[in-house]
Amino acid sequence: MLNLDVIVVFVVILFILVSLYKELLGMAFTFLIAIVVLGVAGILTPLEMMHGFANEQIAVIMLLLLLGDIIRKTRAVEFIFDKIFRHAHTYKSFLGRMVLLIAGFSAFLNNTPLVAVMMPYVHSWSKRHNVSPSKLLIPLSYAAILGGCATLIGTSTNLIVNGLLADQEVIPGLATFNMFDFIYVGLPMIVIGFFFLLFFADKLLPSNPDVLSDFSTNTREYMVEALVEPNSSLIGKSVEEAGLRNLKGLFLVEIIRDDKELRAVSPDEYIRENDRLLFAGETETVADMVNSNMGLVLPDLDKHAGQRNKEILEIVVSHNSQLINQTAKLADFRSNYDASIIAIHRNGERVSGKIGQVRIKAGDVLLLMAGSDFETHSAETQDFYLISKIKDIHEFEWYKIPVLLGGTFLAIALSAFHVVSLFKALLVLLLILGALKIATLKDIKKGFDYNLFVIIALSLALGKAMINTGVADLVSDLLTKVFLPLGNVGLLLGIYLITSLLAAYITNKAAAAIVFPVSLTMALNQGLNPMPFILIVAFAAAANFMTPHGYQTNLMVYGPGAYTFRDFFRIGFPLTVLYLIVTVTILSLMYF
Mean pLDDT computed over 224-243: 83
Contacts of 538 (CB under 8 A, 6+ apart): 149, 157, 158, 161, 182, 512
Least confident among 288-302, 355-369, 432-446, 493-507: 288-302
Residue 170: exposed, middle, or buried by beta-carbon count in 10 A (0-12, 13-18, 19+)? exposed
Beta carbons of 57 and 43 less than 8 angstroms apart: no
Average pLDDT value over all residues in the chain = 82
Q: What is the mean pLDDT of residues 413-420?
A: 84
Question: Per-residue pLDDT for 172 more than 60?
Answer: no
Find the helix or strand (DSSP H, E) in which 345 lies. Answer: strand 339-345
Higher pLDDT, 208 or 40: 40
Average pLDDT, integer, range 386-402: 68
Instruction: State mean pLDDT over 558-579.
Output: 90
Q: How confident is the model at residue 217 (pLDDT cuts 50, 70, 90)?
A: very low
Q: What is the pLDDT of residue 527?
A: 87
- Indicate the burial class of 292 (C-beta count within 10 angstroms; 0-12, 13-18, 19 or more): middle
| 546/307 Cα distance (integer angstroms) | 45
Q: pLDDT-based confidence at 94, cuts 50/70/90?
A: very high
Mean pLDDT over 414-442 rounds to 84
Selection from 8-17, 260-269, 501-510 with the highest mean pLDDT: 8-17
* Domain spans, the chain: 4-210+445-591, 217-396
Closest listed residue to residue 430, CA positions, set 422, 439, 418 = 439
Apex CA 168: angle with CA 423 and CA 146, to 5°?
Answer: 60
Q: Is 340 helix (H, G, I), strand (E, B) or coil?
A: strand
Q: What is the pLDDT of residue 493?
A: 94
Sequence-ordered alpha helix ranges (H) in 332-449: 333-337, 374-378, 400-401, 407-416, 422-435, 441-447
Q: Tell me yes or no: is domain 217-396 CATH 3.30.70.1450.
A: yes
Q: Identify the DSSP state of 297.
A: E
What per-residue confidence (pLDDT) applies to 215? 43
**Whole-Å CA distances, 113 to 78, 118, 145, 379:** 11, 8, 13, 33
Range of weakest confidence among 17-21, 227-231, 353-357: 353-357
Q: How far, CA to CA in Å, does 271 sit from each of 256, 260, 263, 343?
A: 11, 14, 14, 21
- Residue 109 is classified by DSSP as S
What's the confidence (pLDDT) of residue 178?
Answer: 85
* Whole-number pLDDT of residue 459: 80
In this prediction, residue 341 carries a pLDDT of 83
pLDDT value, residue 307: 54
Quote the Cα angle for 267-272-273, to 5°: 150
Q: What is the pLDDT of residue 353?
A: 73
Beta bridge partners of 386: 315
pLDDT at 467: 81
pLDDT band for 192, please (50, 70, 90 cuts): very high
116-125, 301-310, 327-336: range with lowest mean pLDDT: 301-310
Residues 6+ apart with CB under 8 A from 352: 223, 253, 254, 261, 263, 278
Does residue 562 contact residue 208 with C-beta atoms inside 8 Å? yes
Q: What's the Cα-to-Cα distance from 99 to each of 96, 177, 203, 532, rounded to whole Å?
A: 5, 26, 17, 27
What is the rounded distance in angstroms from the CA atom of residue 368 to the CA atom of residue 385?
12
Whether the pLDDT of residue 29 is over 70: the answer is: yes
pLDDT of residue 497: 92
